[in-house]
Amino acid sequence: MSAEETETMLNSTMQMCTFRMANRLFGVDILDVKEVNENTNITPIYHAPPDICGYINIRGQILLVVNLRETFGFDQRHKTEATSGKVVVFKPSVDEPFGIMVDEVCDVVSIEQSRIVDRRANESNTSEAAKELRRAKDGIVMGVCPLDRELLLVLNARHILGRQSAKLDNK
Amino acid sequence: METDNDILAEYVEESRDHLSRIEEIFESIVKTGEVKLSSINDLFRAIHTIKGSAGFLGLTSIGTLTHAMESLLDSLREGRLTVTQSISDALMEGTDILSEMFDDVNKSNSVDVSELVETLKNLNSGIDAPAAVSEPAPQAPQEEPKMTAEETEKRSVADVLNQFPELAQYTAPPEQAAEAKPAPAAKAAPAAKAPAAQASEPSSQDKHEEFLRIKVDLLDRLMMLAGELVLVRNQQLMHLEQADATLRSITQSLDSVTTELQETIMRTRMQPIGTVFSRFSRMVRDLSRKLGKKIDFVTEGDEVELDKNILEAIGDPLTHLVRNACDHGVEKPEDRLAAGKTDTGKVVLSAYHESGQIHVDIKDNGKGMNREVIRRKVLEKRLKTEDELSRMNDQDLVNLVFLPGFSTAAEVTDVSGRGVGMDVVKTGVEKFGGSVSLTTIEGEGSTIKLRLPLTLAIIPSLIVQSGDERFAIPQVNLEELVCLYDKDAFTRIECAGAREVFRLRDTLLPMVRLREALARERMFDEEALSEVTDQNSEARKEMGIKYKEAEDSGHSIHYSLNFAVLRSGNLRFGLIIDRIHGSEEIVVKPMHRAVKGIPLYSGATVLGDGKVAMILDATGLARHYNVRDVGGGKDNKKQKATAEDGTELRSLLLFSNGGNEQFGVSMQDVKRVEAIETAAIERVGSQEYITLDGVSTRVVRLEDGLRVQSSSQPENMFFLIPQNARKPYGLLVEKLIDSGHYEVKLNKESYQAEGVEGTALIKKKMTVLVNLEQLMHLVDGMWYGGQA
């Protein structure tokens, strides 16, 4: 990213497509989102990393669905919900066709770029396990943006699958 | 900077086109043996265009080389030189070097072309001098001073012919010959010259307008959109019932247009196989010169179209095969004469459609393969043991050449003989769903048949189910389906060490449980295997107990076990699945980048009901389950069963045809058995037909050929479809009795008839063993005999 781009990003407002997952509010840049789809029938991919739900068919196109709960290590009792949520589908410019499973799609929120706080900076006194988890989240979570009532975790869609493929290679 | 690169890339692309055009021209010159003036003009034009841009792009090596080639071509064009072998060789060499330079155009300047340039110059000047005596050519520019370099190219043939009567030796194509006649008049009136010039090269003009360069991903996108359109159309069709008549007709046209659109887009990916074939005649010519052989190379079916990806993939295997045919197949002229053949060998490369696949045959009339040599080589390289070889039949022996590491070449030449040939071909072709087979007759030559799918994108496959999920198994990997019922379901699967096996006729088939393979992410080791085997043998015991209990208490439990016999390379295994759904043509989608590394799958597909199914990869599955060839394929115990008294263990299908006569056919001769309703049999004249899978299949009754009791024609009968039938036939039988391995002592005396092998006592009953092939022949002969 060039300095110029960063500057425009910092100064401009960004439209966020927000959604809920395990009671937390997340957002991705709306320009990266192609559509939101009802999660129809998921076909599991055996032997795939645990945070891959499987494939779904959207109008003849096969789409990989990622379960970010797994990536973030959220409470597993939500797992049953994971098969009945909605899928946020990203544009082809983001990566090969894929989407993420969410519990509920919320409003579109405009936020100032400058209000996104990179919270990695002020968390240092954490355990090894937490650090491990953080490394997985690194890159995916761009930062936190405080809204009126709660915090919005801003995700970078472009980094979601980068993690997946790296993991598979290690196996 | 970027625009510079763009220009360069475009130039390289264009030049490649020109080079392939040049290759084509050389091909046709070699093929027809005559040099047309139009060809030389085309060559000149192509080289000139390449040269033109090379200069300002700073590609000096390319520039120098093309300049030398251009000058030589110019002399040919103007008739100062006639085409000789050395000239055409030098030009072809130049073309080769050019195409190499275009492979890495940025380094092209470091390629040393001086030697070739020198040769070209010498060739040009060597004969230039004497010709110059009567040379009127230099005057030409003076006559028409306004003529620029580009215009020179377009100079009409008529002009040249007019100026150089000696050019008559070049046979001009008819339309050019026709143009040549009015040319003198045209010369008198320069204004009329232009049309003549244009008319002289209509073919090359048209060519440029007919083609358009399109990016492949754009086509892929179009294809995808067409797919989406199909789905939209399907939705529309679903809601059609409520719609009014106008809407219905609109929907119908939408339907037909969509279908046509999809087909057309599919066709954009198809290219004639001739583009691949064309490079071989050149190769064969070079090879035959190098090897001191005379080889006549013929291609057939150049126009047969194949998917672009497949075309790219078969290039290398075909190169191997053609090279093999020239090097190992065709003999030296003296050897051929000694063997009583003509001194010129023949290699035929032909492509044709057959049963939904593309067949490519490579046939030579050379020396064929000697079974003894194959045996010796296999033993020498320790690829198989003597014992194994002694059990092989002729075809098995020939197929050994596909083993990795096999080579029969007496010595390693730079042409072939490194022992990496045929297995590379086989794996290469199998990778994209094709197959290879080889037939060879010693002294008469060999034929290698490649069977290729039409496109990579759509493949026939079997849909199976394990747990809740459905999977697709590509038909190419599938050999047969086996269903075990009731008792067999728990008695026929046996344990061999840590592994489950099944005795399929005379082979031991290692079994793979799809459910377990999916459940375990780690590759199977001995431990995991024995765990699975133990679990299942426990389960089988339980099934046995339950079955027995139920039987004792008077009612029965029904068990069934399905497995598919899959082949991957030389490995065969049985894949146990929960359910078989039937076959479907599926569109293969590659795996997503993030899950590409999983060996179990070769892709994914959308099934008819819209659900995604994974496509199983037989090779990956076998590797994951750690499948190895159990007991070298053949079951030794069974082999020993052939005792001296002529008793033989044979796998038979027993049936009856009404009455109490029992018949048997060899299981190997039967491709499949269909249960049919007799009402579906149609009569045409004296013949009966039944439609199976859309094919009208002739119905043969046992009583048509043999003097046996006629069938009482019940409602449901069975139809045996023979293996290797040349025409669609089947044998109609009333009842299937049993199938399995039986000790057969063949008695040929007691009942003799054509179409019958003999009789044997099976299950304490006299059984007539029918020879299906003979019977079909017999009946066919009678039919034809009766009609003729």
Nearest Cα residue to B665 out of B748, B745, B783, B758: B758
Q: Which residue has the tokens 């040269």?
A: B51
pTM score of the predicted model: 0.51
Instruction: Please write the tens of the pLDDT for every residue from B398-418.
Output: 777 777 766 655 544 444 443
CB contact under 8 A, B518 and A47: yes
Asked whether residue A41 is assigned to any structural domain, the reply reads yes
DSSP for B254-302 reads HHHHHHHHHHHHHHHTEEETHHHHHHHHHHHHHHHHHHT-EEEEEEE-T
Residues of B in contact with A161 (CB under 8 A): 593-594
Q: What is the CATH number of the domain that holds A21?
A: 2.40.50.180
Six token digits for residue B412:
């390693």
Given CB atoms, is B231 within the 8 Å cutoff of chain A? yes
Angle at alpha carbon of residue B617, lines to B615 and B619, rounded to 5°: 175
Given CB atoms, is B519 within the 8 Å cutoff of chain A? yes
Distance CA B469, CA B614 (A): 9
With a pLDDT cut of 90, the percent of chain B lying above it is: 5
Instruction: Please write the tens of the pLDDT for every residue from B276-295.
Output: 888 888 888 888 888 888 88
Distance CA B702, CA B733 (A): 7
Instruction: Please write the tens of the pLDDT for every residue from B555-564.
Output: 777 888 899 9
Residues of A in contact with B600 (CB under 8 A): 46-47
Given CB atoms, is A170 within the 8 Å cutoff of chain B? no
Cβ-based neighbours of B319, under 8 Å, separated by 6 or more: B280, B283
pLDDT (tens, 9 = 90+) of chain A, 171 residues, equals 455 555 555 567 888 999 988 888 999 999 899 988 876 678 999 998 888 889 998 877 788 999 888 778 776 554 444 455 789 999 888 888 899 988 888 889 988 888 888 755 555 555 665 665 565 556 788 888 888 888 888 888 888 887 444 444 443
Instruction: Please write the tens of the pLDDT for every residue from B324-350.
Output: 888 888 888 888 888 888 888 888 999
pLDDT given for residue B616 in this prediction: 93
Given CB atoms, is A54 within the 8 Å cutoff of chain B? yes
Instruction: Please write the tens of the pLDDT for every residue from B717-736.
Output: 888 888 766 678 888 888 88
Q: Which helix (H) or strand (E) holds B232?
A: helix B216-238
Side-chain half-sphere of B49: how many Cα atoms within 13 Å?
18
Mean pLDDT on B591-602: 86
pLDDT given for residue A6 in this prediction: 52
Q: Look up residue B591 and give its DSSP letter.
A: P
pLDDT given for residue B27 in this prediction: 77
Q: Is B100 helix (H, G, I), strand (E, B) or coil?
A: helix
Mean pLDDT on B748-774: 81
- The residues in A 100-159 lying below 8 A from B, measured between CB atoms, are none
Query: Judging by beta carbons within 10 Å of its beta carbon (0-12, 13-18, 19+), is residue A38 exposed, middle or buried?
Result: exposed
Mutation target vs A (from B524, B593, B607; most A CBs, 10 A cutoff)? B593
Single-letter code of the amino acid located at B399 = N
Distance CA A139, CA B71 (A): 61
Q: Which residue has the tokens 């194959």?
A: B374
- What is the average pLDDT value for chain B, to the nearest integer? 76
Report whether pLDDT(B49) > 50: yes
Asked whether residue A170 is assigned to any structural domain, the reply reads no
pLDDT given for residue B204 in this prediction: 44
pLDDT given for residue A11 in this prediction: 60
pLDDT given for residue B177 in this prediction: 40
CB contact under 8 A, B613 and A57: no
Instruction: Please write the tens of the pLDDT for every residue from B654-689.
Output: 888 877 888 998 887 787 888 888 888 888 888 888
Number of domains comprising chain A: 1
Distance CA B717, CA B657 (A): 9
Cβ-based neighbours of B568, under 8 Å, separated by 6 or more: B477, B618, B619, B621, B622
Asked whether residue A146 is assigned to any structural domain, the reply reads yes
Asked whether residue A94 is assigned to any structural domain, the reply reads yes
When pLDDT is cut at 50, 70 and 90, the band that residue B455 belongs to is low
Distance CA A88, CA A116 (A): 22
pLDDT given for residue B652 in this prediction: 85
Residues of B in contact with A165 (CB under 8 A): 593-594, 596
pLDDT given for residue B550 in this prediction: 86
Given CB atoms, is A2 within the 8 Å cutoff of chain B? no
Instruction: Please write the tens of the pLDDT for every residue from B521-564.
Output: 888 888 888 888 888 888 888 888 888 888 888 777 788 889 99
Asked whether residue A42 is assigned to any structural domain, the reply reads yes
Question: How does B732-769 read in b/e, with b if 16+ C-beta sit within 10 Å?
Answer: bbbeebebeebebeeeeeeeeeebbbbbbebeeeebbb
Q: Which residue has the higher pLDDT, B448 or B725?
A: B448
Asked whether residue A8 is assigned to any structural domain, the reply reads no
When pLDDT is cut at 50, 70 and 90, the band that residue B465 belongs to is very high
CB contact under 8 A, B614 and A169: no
Cβ-based neighbours of B596, under 8 Å, separated by 6 or more: A165, A168, B590
pLDDT given for residue B2 in this prediction: 45
pLDDT given for residue A133 in this prediction: 58
For B469, the closest chain A residue by CA position comes to: A43
Given CB atoms, is B782 within the 8 Å cutoff of chain A? no
Mutation target vs B (from A59, A87, A90, A169; most B CBs, 10 A cutoff)? A59
Other CB atoms within a 10 A radius of the CB of residue B659 amount to 12
Distance CA B175, CA B463 (A): 58
Report whether pLDDT(B199) > 60: no
For B588, the closest chain A residue by CA position comes to: A62
Mean pLDDT on B233-243: 68
Among candidates B232, B594, B611 on the partner chain, residue whose Cβ is nearest the Cβ of A43: B611
Q: Cβ(B439)–Cβ(B368) under 8 Å?
A: no
pLDDT given for residue B172 in this prediction: 41
Asked whether residue A145 is assigned to any structural domain, the reply reads yes
Q: Is B346 helix (H, G, I), strand (E, B) or coil?
A: strand
Q: Which domain holds residue A61?
A: 13-163
To the nearest whole Å, the CA of B32 is away from the closest chain A CA by: 50
Q: At what angle do helices B114-133 and B60-77 cross, to 10 degrees?
A: 20
Mean pLDDT on B488-501: 83
Distance CA B479, CA B264 (A): 33
pLDDT given for residue B231 in this prediction: 67
CB contact under 8 A, A62 and B604: yes
- The residues in A 22-51 lying below 8 A from B, measured between CB atoms, are 40-41, 43-49
Q: What's the gap between Cα B343 and its chain centre?
A: 31
Sheet holding B662-666, edge to edge: B735-745, B647-656, B662-666, B765-770, B756-762
Q: Which helix (H) or strand (E) holds A53?
A: strand A52-58
Mean pLDDT on B465-491: 87
Distance CA B365, CA B348 (A): 9
Asked whether residue A169 is assigned to any structural domain, the reply reads no
pLDDT given for residue B472 in this prediction: 94
Report whether pLDDT(B595) > 60: yes
Mean pLDDT on B381-387: 77
pLDDT given for residue B564 in this prediction: 93
